[in-house]
């Protein structure tokens, strides 16, 4: 066993189980250039899906998985994220005076969801660099990383299931989902082997390979559970693809020190990193809502049945 394997084994045997993970890192320092002009003066993480900022879905997923210590990595121009998760005394007071109790509870519940902390990344040198800037806050504990471009259906319980694999193994776990060969170059890509216990072990991982060089069609989705050993490897990871310190390269280096597992899931992910998928996510989430779903479905059916062209003749 290497020394970091020993450390992980020690973590695992503490009282027979791994210490429950409480901390999650959400990198939110990106410029959001894919959503200009909407992101010129507001962070992309505050763009709403129906009526809720995308980052609130991610924080809600963390809270549902029992993670109550959230560290958001921010940068310039991200103040509205901090305001969103803070108390809003003026708004609360006005809602109280107006007797709008439902809205008041909604607004209060956001600031009571979890404890939120912030670190500014300063120089945006890539996702690996963003995660490394969480080191001091996380310390020597295992932790979760959740990327805001991936919004998960709460019913899929992706993070919760990954935490269960970590509790069983004591090691890092990366979320993986099959994509088409055309899509693989937009993702980290992993080759895996399944062991006798049904655990999926990652054997190779590369960031955004060309389609013809991809070792598989399993794409890395934005949910990770890491042992703190990741910080050692990230600290030594040189800039990779696009001149940025890549989280995927840090994971590849971690694999030479200790096992890294995969959690393969098949449904429940909304990719909101590009406009078409953002629209799809908006429609699907609206349809799944009790308050909006039925009338919105009716509207969509009507729209499809209408010969739009005939309206313009
Ligand atoms: C990042 C990661 C990539 C991962 C993807 C998931 O890429 O670098 O490995 O597959 O998130 O959404 P980005 O989408 O930030 O370019």
**pLDDT mean over 62-85:** 92
Structure tokens at 142: 């295992």
| Tally of domains within the chain | 2
In a domain, 13, yes or no: no
Q: Please check whether residues 75 and 221 belong to one and the same domain.
A: yes
Q: Please check whether residues 244 and 303 belong to one and the same domain.
A: no
Residue pair 117/63 in contact by the 8 Å Cβ criterion? no
pLDDT at residue 17 greater than cutoff 90: no
Cα 145 from Cα 192, distance rounded (Å) = 21
Q: What is the pLDDT of residue 69?
A: 96
Lowest mean pLDDT of 64-73, 114-123, 125-134, name the range. Answer: 114-123
Q: What is the pLDDT of residue 6?
A: 52
Protein residue with its CA nearest to atom 11 in ligand 1: 222
- Ligand 1, residues 222, 245, 277: which to mutate, most atoms within 8 A of Cβ? 222
Cα 81 from Cα 218, distance rounded (Å) = 32
In a domain, 169, yes or no: yes
In a domain, 3, yes or no: no
In a domain, 41, yes or no: yes
pLDDT at residue 18 greater than cutoff 90: no
CATH number at residue 64: 3.90.550.10
Cα 97 from Cα 81, distance rounded (Å) = 26
- Ligand 1, residues 220, 234, 237: which to mutate, most atoms within 8 A of Cβ? 220
Q: Please check whether residues 269 and 287 belong to one and the same domain.
A: no
Q: Please check whether residues 280 and 228 belong to one and the same domain.
A: no
Q: Please check whether residues 243 and 294 belong to one and the same domain.
A: no
pLDDT-derived band at 13, boundaries 50, 70, 90: very low
Q: Please check whether residues 192 and 295 belong to one and the same domain.
A: no
In a domain, 5, yes or no: no
Write phi, then psi, for 292 (nearest 5 degrees): -105, -25
Cα 91 from Cα 148, distance rounded (Å) = 26
Q: Please check whether residues 192 and 206 belong to one and the same domain.
A: yes
In a domain, 10, yes or no: no
| Ligand 1 centroid from CA 270, angstroms | 13
- Ligand 1, residues 31, 33, 188: which to mutate, most atoms within 8 A of Cβ? 188
Q: Please check whether residues 152 and 192 belong to one and the same domain.
A: yes
Average pLDDT, the chain: 91
Q: Please check whether residues 166 and 297 belong to one and the same domain.
A: no
What are the tens digits of pLDDT across the range 133-167?
A: 999 999 999 999 999 889 999 889 999 999 999 99
In a domain, 153, yes or no: yes
More confident residue, 60 or 5: 60
pLDDT at residue 15 greater than cutoff 60: no
Q: Please check whether residues 169 and 297 belong to one and the same domain.
A: no
Q: What's the pTM?
A: 0.91
Domain assignment of residue 302, given as a range: 274-308
Q: Please check whether residues 256 and 288 belong to one and the same domain.
A: no
Q: What is the pLDDT of residue 7?
A: 53
pLDDT at residue 309 greater than cutoff 80: no
Question: Residue 165 belongs to what H/E stretch?
Answer: helix 158-169
Task: Taking each helix axis as running N to C, give the angle between helix 293-305 and helix 275-288, from 0 to 180 degrees, rounded to the nearest 10.
Answer: 120
In a domain, 7, yes or no: no
Query: Residue 159: which of 48, 287, 25 has the closest Cα?
Result: 25
| Ligand 1 centroid from CA 221, angstroms | 7
| Ligand 1 centroid from CA 186, angstroms | 7
Q: Please check whether residues 189 and 64 belong to one and the same domain.
A: yes
What are the tens digits of pLDDT across the range 159-172?
A: 999 999 999 999 99
| Ligand 1 centroid from CA 79, angstroms | 24
| Ligand 1 centroid from CA 21, angstroms | 23
| Ligand 1 centroid from CA 129, angstroms | 14
Q: What is the pLDDT of residue 202?
A: 98
């Amino acid at each position: 066993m290497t020394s970091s394997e020993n450390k992980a084994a020690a973590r695992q045997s503490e009282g027979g189980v791994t210490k429950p993970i409480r901390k999650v890192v959400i990198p939110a320092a990106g410029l959001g250039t894919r959503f200009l002009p909407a992101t010129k003066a507001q962070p992309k993480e505050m763009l709403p899906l129906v009526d809720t900022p995308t980052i609130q879905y991610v924080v809600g997923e963390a809270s549902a998985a029992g993670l109550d210590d959230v560290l958001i990595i921010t940068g310039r121009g991200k103040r509205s994220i901090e305001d969103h998760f803070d108390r809003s005394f003026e708004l609360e007071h006005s809602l109280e005076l107006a007797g709008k109790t439902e809205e008041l509870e909604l607004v209060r519940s956001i600031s009571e969801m979890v404890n939120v902390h912030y670190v500014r990344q300063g120089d945006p040198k890539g996702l690996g660099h963003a995660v490394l800037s969480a080191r001091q806050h996380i310390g020597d504990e295992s932790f979760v990383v959740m990327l805001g471009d991936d919004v998960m259906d709460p019913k899929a319980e992706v993070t919760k299931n990954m935490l269960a694999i970590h509790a069983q193994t004591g090691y890092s776990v990366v979320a993986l989902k099959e994509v088409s060969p055309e899509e693989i170059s937009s993702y980290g890509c992993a080759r895996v082997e399944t062991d006798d216990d049904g655990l999926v072990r990652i054997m190779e991982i590369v960031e955004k390979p060309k389609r013809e060089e991809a070792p598989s069609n399993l794409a890395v989705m934005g949910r990770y559970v890491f042992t703190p050993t990741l910080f050692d490897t990230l600290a030594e990871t040189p800039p990779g693809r696009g001149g940025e310190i890549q989280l995927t390269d840090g994971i590849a280096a971690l694999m030479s020190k200790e096992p890294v597992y995969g959690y393969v899931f098949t449904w429940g992910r909304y990719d909101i990193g590009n406009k078409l998928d953002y629209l799809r996510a908006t429609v699907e989430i609206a349809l799944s809502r009790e308050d909006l779903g039925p009338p919105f479905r009716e509207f969509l059916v009507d729209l499809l049945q209408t010969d739009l062209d005939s309206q313009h003749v």
